[in-house]
Structure 1
Amino acid sequence: MSKHAYCGLDFGTSNSTLGLVVDGKPKLVALEAGDVTLPSALFFDFEDHKVHFGRDAISTYMEGGEGRLMRALKSILGTSTIHEATMIGPERKPFTAVLALFLQHMKKQAEQAAGQELSHVMMGRPVHFVDYDDTADKEAEDTLRAIAAEVGFKHIEFQYEPVAAARDFQQTNNREELAMIIDIGGGTSDFTILKVSPDETRRTGKPSDTILANAGIHVGGTDFDRWLSLSRLMPLLGYQSPMIKEGRLMPVGYYHDLATWQRINFLYDHKTFSDLRVLRREAKEPTLIERLLKILELREGHRIALGVEAAKVALSDQMETELPLDFIEAGLKALMSRDDLVEALNDGTDRVKKVISEAIASAQIKADDVSVVFLTGGSTKVPFIRNSLTAMVPKARIIDGDAFGSVGVGLALEAHQRFA
C-alpha cells in the first residue's frame, strides 16, 4: 500500500463502509460475514458482556437478547448529546466512547484484510453535520477527528461525501459532463455539482473536475422513517389523542423520541414511566397509552423502528403493507399504503428539492444544463424521492451508483490520491 497504510472510511448514520486501494483499484473491505456494508449499530449484551456490531447487533436484539441496542449515533455529532454519558448496564459510558468502539471495530476488520496497521484515513462527512450553524458543524468534525485519533489513526483528513461519490462516478465516465451527485443517506441529503473532464484525467492520471457547488441538509432516511412512524403507527399508541380535560392532547414528545433512532433509549427511565402512568389516568383512551407503556416496559422501541424502516422499503415495491404489532396486543397491526408513504415524505422531499434549487443557483447554471445525475444513498431507492429529485433536471440521464458503497469507494480513491 505504498509509503503509508491508508483507507477511506464512510461512517454513515445507517450503514458504514471502508475502502482500500489494492493493485491500483479501490476495494471495499468485507466488514461482516462477507458483506462490505456494516449497519451502524451496536448491541451491548448484558448476558455475555460482549459488544455486537452491525447485523449481529440487530439480530441479537431482535432475538430477545438482554442488553441495549444503539443505532444512528452519527446524528448526535454537533449536538449537546455527544458530550453526555449514557447508562449501559451498571456503567455510564460517554457517547464519544460508544462511537469510538464502532470505529475501532471497523479499523480492526480492515487491518486484518490489509495485513497491516492503517495509519492514514480519508473520512467522509456530510456537507453540513448541522444546518445553519458553522460553529456546531466544525465542532462535529473536530469531535469525529478526535475519535478517529483515539482509535489509532495518525493522519486524518475529511472529504464531503458527495464529492467522494463523484470520484466513484468518474471511474467509468468517459465524456465531458456537467454532473450532479445526489447522495441521500440515513441522516443527510448532500449534493455536488461539477464539471468532469475525462481527457484531462487520462492525461494527468488524477481526477480532473471543477466543483461548482456543494450543498446539503440534515434530512435523510431516518427522518423519512420518523415521519412515516408518526403518521401511521404512533396514533395507535396515543399520539395526538385527546385527554379528559377539554382541549388537551397527549404530549407529543414521547412519540417523537420513540420514532427517532438515537432518542429511543432516553425513554427507558423511571420518570418517563411515572409520567406516562399519570397521563394514562388522564387520557380519554387509556388503552392507547397502555400500549405505549408496554413497549417501553419491554424495551421494544427499536423493534418498532426496525419495523417502520422495513415497511418503508416494502412500500417502494408494493402498494400496501402491514406492520404486525402482536407483541403489544393480539391482532394489533399498523396498515400502510404507498399514498401514506408519499404523504409522510412530501414535506421533507420539498425541503431537499429547495436545497437542490439553491445548489443549481449557486453553481450559476440552469437545471437543463445538467447532463447526468449520479445517485447514491439508500433513500434514492424510494421511488417517490428518486422521481421527485430527478424530475428537477429533466434533460439529464440517470446513473445509479452503488447505493451503499459509492462513497466508501470514492473515499478510498481520494485517500490513494492524497496519501500514496
Structure 2
Amino acid sequence: MQGDLAAGALGLDFGTTNTVVSLAQSDGTSELVEFDGPEEPGAVFRSALCFWEEESAWNGIACEAGPHAIAEYLQSPLDSRFVQSFKTVAASTTFERALVFGKPFRFEDFGRLFLQRLVQHAGGRLDARPRRVIVGRPVEYAGARPDPDLARRRYDLMLREFGVELFYVYEPLGAAFSYASRLTEPATVLVADFGGGTTDFSIVQVGEPGASRRCAPLAASGVGIAGDRFDRHIVEQLVLPMLGKGGQYRSMGKILDIPGGWFAEFSDWSRLALMRNRRTLEELRRLQKDALDAQAIGRMIALIEHEQGFPLYDAVGRLKRALSSERQAQFHFESGGVEITAEVDRADFEAWIRHDLVRIEAALDAAIVKAAVEPSRIDRVFLTGGSSLIPAIRAIFDRRFGEDRIATGGELTSIAHGLALVGQERDVEAWAA
C-alpha cells in the first residue's frame, strides 16, 4: 500500500524563516531534499527572495531565493530588494500587494516565485510534479485578526502548479508523525512547534508500531507569537531608540510625539525592505526637518536607503542564539553609517519576552483542555523549531512535565519529514486541517 503512494508524496514545510522539503520513500521512510547553495548544499532553504532590475528578465525584474537571495543581496544591496518572512502576511486582510521596483506583487506571487527557484536548486529531485503534496500550516496564523480562509486561498494559488493533490496538515502534527517514527511503544505525545511566526501545539495518541493508524490527533492550538516576535523585542529595545523612537517633533508651534507607526513598520521584517520607496523616504525626510533629534531620524533613513534589513536581522539572530547558550552576550551592528553595540543579559531578554511567554503557555493550556488529558498522562513532550532552544521556553516544559519526559531534535527538519510520512497514509484527508 505505502510503496504505491510513497512514490509521489512530498512533505512541504514552508516556514516563516526556513523551508524544508522531504520525499516519501517506498520503504515507508522519508528523505530530505538537499538544495545547492553558494557555498555548500543543505536541506534548509531560507524563505527569502531578492529582486533586482534586469532588462532581459520577465517584467524587467529578476529574482533569486533562499541562500542565493542572500548572496545576491550581499553582492549589491543598494540595487536590490530583499524580502523575507513574507509568510507572516498570508492571512492578513490588510495586505494586498507590495511594490517592488514599482511592480505590484501579491503574497501568491512571492510564493510562486519562491517555489520556482526552490525547484531549480533541488538538483532535479523536484522536477517531476509530485502526486501528493502535504503542506504544513500553522494552527493559528500570525498577525492581528488573521483570516485562515484567505490564507488557504492564497496558499492554493501559490501551490497550484506545485503538485497534483494538495493537503494541508497542522505543522505540529507533521512533527508528531516524525517523532512517532522513533517510538517503539504506545504513548500520548505533546508536540510543541516554535517557528518564526507562530507557536503551535498538538497532542497525539501514538499506537503500536505497525498499527493501521499510528497517530490519532487529540487536539491542537496555537498563537501567532514566535521567533520573529522575539526579534522585534530586541529591535525595539536596542535599535529603535537610536532611530528616534520616543522622540518628538515640531508641528504648528507645538511639540508632539513622533507617531509609533514608523517604528512598527521598521521592526517588522516582512515590511522593512518595502519601506525603501520614494513616498516613504520623502515623508521621513519631512519628519527629519521637524524632529528635535534630526540625527536619529537620519539614521533610520540611512538604514532604509542602504538596504540594511538583512544585516540588522542577522545581528539580532546572532544575539538571540548566543543568549540561548550564554547568560550574557554582545549585540553589535555596524552598517549604513549606524553603529550600535550593547551588552545584553539573558535576564533582560527574558523580561522583554515575558508577556509573550504567558500567551504561549495559555495556548499550551488550551491544547491540554481540548484533549481532555491530564498533564500527568502525557508520556512524552517533543519540542521542535528554532525557538525551542531558548532557555526560558525550555524552562516552561521542564517545570510542567519534568526533564525526563522531554525530547528534542530535528529542530528545523522534523515537520517536513513527518509531513511526507503523512503522505504515505491511504486516507490523508483524516489528517488534513
Q: TM-score, normalised on structure 1?
A: 0.90
Q: Does residue 296 in structure 1 map to residue 309 in structure 2?
A: no
Aligned to 1:314: 322
Q: Confirm or deny that 1:67 pairs with 2:74.
A: no
Question: What SS is found at the alignment partner of 1:233?
Answer: helix
Deviation at 1:139, TM superposition (A): 2.0
Retained in 1: the 8 A contact 2:312–2:333? no
Please give the per-residue CA displacement for 1:110-158, whole angstroms capped at 9, x wherever unaligned. Answer: 5812673323211111112257968x21221222022211x24221111
Distance 1:118 1:105, change over 3 A: farther
- Partner Cα distance (1:247, 1:365) in 2: 57
CA contact 1:368–1:396 (8 Å) conserved in 2: no
2:292 is the alignment partner of 1:284? yes
Q: Is the 8 A contact 1:183 1:375 kept in 2?
A: yes
Tell which deviates more after alignment, 155-164 or 248-257.
248-257
**CA contact 1:18–1:106 (8 Å) conserved in 2:** no
* Cα distance in structure 2, aligned partners of 1:229 and 1:217: 21
CA contact (8 A) 1:228 1:340 kept: no
Q: CA deviation at 1:197?
A: 1.9
Moved more, 153-162 or 93-102: 93-102
Q: Which segment drifts farther, 357-366 or 345-354?
A: 357-366
C-alpha change, 1:377 and 1:88, in structure 2 (3 Å) is same
Quick one: distance in 2 between partners of 1:270 and 1:326? 22
Deviation at 1:99, TM superposition (A): 0.8
In structure 2, do the counterparts of structure 1 residues 403 and 355 end up closer, same or farther at CA, with 3 Å as the change threshold? Answer: same
- Confirm or deny that 1:168 pairs with 2:178: yes
Rounded to whole Å, the distance in 2 between the matches of 1:265 and 1:404 is 25
Write the distance in 1 (CA, Å) between the matches of 2:219 and 2:404: 17
Which digits, 9 at most, give the CA deviation of each residue in 1:278-316, with x for residues without a partner? 322332222111111111222223322222122211222
Select the residue among 19, 27, 34 that pairs with 2:31: 27
Deviating more after overlay: 12-21 vs 97-106: 97-106
* TM-aligned CA deviation for residue 188 of structure 1: 0.6
CA distance in 1, matches of 2:403, 2:273: 46
Measure the CA separation in 2 of the matches of 1:15 and 1:175.
32
Distance 1:209 1:351, change over 3 A: same
Aligned amino acid, residue 32 of structure 1? D
SS of 1:416 mapped into structure 2:
coil
Say whether the 8 Å CA contact 1:131–1:217 is kept in structure 2.
Answer: no
Code of the residue aligned with 1:137 in structure 2: it is P
DSSP 3-state at the match of 2:83: strand
The corresponding residue for 1:2 is 4
SS, match of residue 240 in structure 1: coil
Amino acid at match of 1:189: T
> Deviation string for 1:54-90 (max 9, x for gaps)?
1121132133342111111111111135532x33335
Query: For 1:122, which of 116, 128, 134 is the aligned residue?
Result: 134
Tell me the residue number matched to 2:399. Answer: 391
1:95 aligns with 2:103: no
- The aligned counterpart of 2:347 is 339
Cα distance, 1:271 vs structure 2? 2.7
Match of 1:237 among 222, 232, 243: 243
8 Å CA contact retained: 1:43, 1:51 = yes
Matching residue of 2:191: 181
Amino acid at match of 2:8: A
**CA–CA distance in 1 between the matches of 2:65 and 2:103?**
19
Amino acid of the residue matched to residue 165 of structure 2?
H
- Partner of 2:21: helix, strand, or coil? strand
CA distance in 2, matches of 1:310, 1:395: 27
Most deviating of 34-43 and 73-82? 73-82
Alignment of 1:101-250 (within 5 A): 101-110=113-122, 112-113=124-125, 116-129=128-141, 136-149=147-160, 151-198=161-208, 201-202=209-210, 204=211, 206-243=212-249, 248-250=256-258
Measure how far apart 1:326 and its partner are. Answer: 4.4
More displaced, 318-327 or 219-228? 318-327
* SS of residue paired to 1:384: helix
**Counterpart secondary structure, 2:4:** coil
Aligned to 2:431: none
173 and 129 in structure 1: CA distance in 2 versus 1, 3 angstrom threshold: same
Q: For 1:419 and 1:104, locate their aligned partners in 2 and report how far apart those are by CA, in whole Å.
A: 29
CA contact (8 A) 1:181 1:193 kept: yes
Matching of residue 41 in structure 1 with residue 48 in structure 2: yes
Q: TM-score scaled to structure 2, two decimals?
A: 0.88
Matched AA of 1:403: E
- 308, 327, 330: which one pairs with 2:336? 327
* Shift in alpha-carbon separation, 1:364–1:95, aligned structure 2, 3 A: closer
Superposed displacement of residue 272, structure 1: 2.1
1:78: which partner in 2?
Answer: 91
Describe the shift of the 1:384–1:55 C-alpha distance in structure 2 as closer, same or farther (beyond 3 A): same
1:291 alignment partner AA:
R
- 8 A Cα contact 2:316 2:331, kept in partner: no
| Partner SS state of residue 118, structure 1 | coil
Quick one: distance in 2 between partners of 1:133 and 1:254? 21
* Matched positions, count: 412
